[in-house]
């Protein structure tokens, strides 16, 4: 099975607010770098037919399109899950034979081969998801052709996806697909795994502000 990935990218003015105390006025740049590294890695995954980036931010849209993503505008404006459902609908119209997979936009250490393992595991189920590294949230939600995506992201989404009957994936060697970034601690953990080039460049500029003693 091949997959259309739906990657939601917030307007940069609202993205990664919990990183602001540590990175200051580079917050928007860092948020964009993380999204670009995520999309770049996803596009290198053999099982991915296309990446659909759902965003209303013109700067993010332009840079993601340059990387090869299909930029989807016209978000319903009612939050992350409606935006993902909107992106999935567009993807299914364009590539009806592919499964659809919602992927977090903040996976700067993402490795194509690890994503491929997860997508291969997802191909055995109608609907499935991968929990984040702490085991509370979700970084990936997959729906095979003929199955609804029905995203329930944000907060304790692992429990919501489980209660909705979605199969939880257990995939060894997929740490980079589970390591999303919301806090300075998350970013340090992602850097330890090995982040993409754009995130690495920003890390080298602001990493001193992310030392434990300087983190609020």
Alpha-carbon distance of 203 to 208, in angstroms, equals 8
DSSP lists the bridge partners of residue 131 as: 138
DSSP lists the bridge partners of residue 140 as: 103, 130
Q: For 84-134, what is the HEC assignment?
A: HHHHHHHHHHHCCCCEEEEECCCCCCCCHHHHHHHHHHHCCCCEEEEECCC
Contact 137, 155 (CB under 8 A): yes
The half-sphere exposure of 114 on its side-chain side, counting CA atoms within 13 A, is 19
Q: Binding site for phosphoenolpyruvate: which residues?
A: 138, 157
Q: Binding site: which residues?
A: 138, 157
Tokens of 124: 């055995």
Give exposure, 98-117, as e/b (b: 16+ Cβ within 10 Å).
bbbbbbbbbbbbbbbebbbb
According to DSSP, the β-strands at 99-103 and 138-143 are antiparallel
Cα end-to-end span (Å), the chain: 44
Cβ atoms < 10 Å from Cβ of 192:
10
């Amino acid at each position: 099975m091949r997959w259309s990935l739906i990657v939601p990218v917030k307007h940069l003015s609202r993205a990664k607010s919990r990183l602001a105390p540590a990175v200051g006025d580079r917050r928007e740049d860092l948020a964009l770098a993380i999204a670009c590294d995520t999309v770049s890695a996803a596009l290198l995954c053999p099982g991915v037919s296309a990446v659909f980036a759902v965003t209303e931010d013109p700067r993010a849209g332009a840079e993601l399109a340059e990387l090869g993503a299909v930029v989807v505008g016209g978000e319903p404006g009612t939050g992350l899950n409606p935006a993902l459902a909107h992106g999935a609908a567009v993807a299914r119209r364009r590539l009806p034979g592919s499964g659809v997979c919602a992927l977090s936009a903040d996976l700067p250490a993402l490795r194509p081969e690890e994503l491929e393992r997860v997508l291969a595991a997802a191909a055995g189920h109608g609907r499935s998801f991968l929990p984040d590294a702490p085991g509370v949230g979700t970084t990936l939600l997959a729906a095979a052709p003929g199955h609804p995506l029905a995203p329930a992201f944000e907060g304790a989404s692992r429990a919501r996806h489980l209660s909705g009957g979605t199969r939880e994936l257990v995939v060894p060697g997929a740490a980079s697909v589970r390591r999303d970034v919301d806090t300075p601690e998350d970013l340090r953990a992602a850097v330890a795994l090995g982040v993409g080039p754009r995130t690495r460049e920003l890390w080298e500029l602001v990493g001193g502000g992310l030392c434990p003693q300087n983190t609020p």
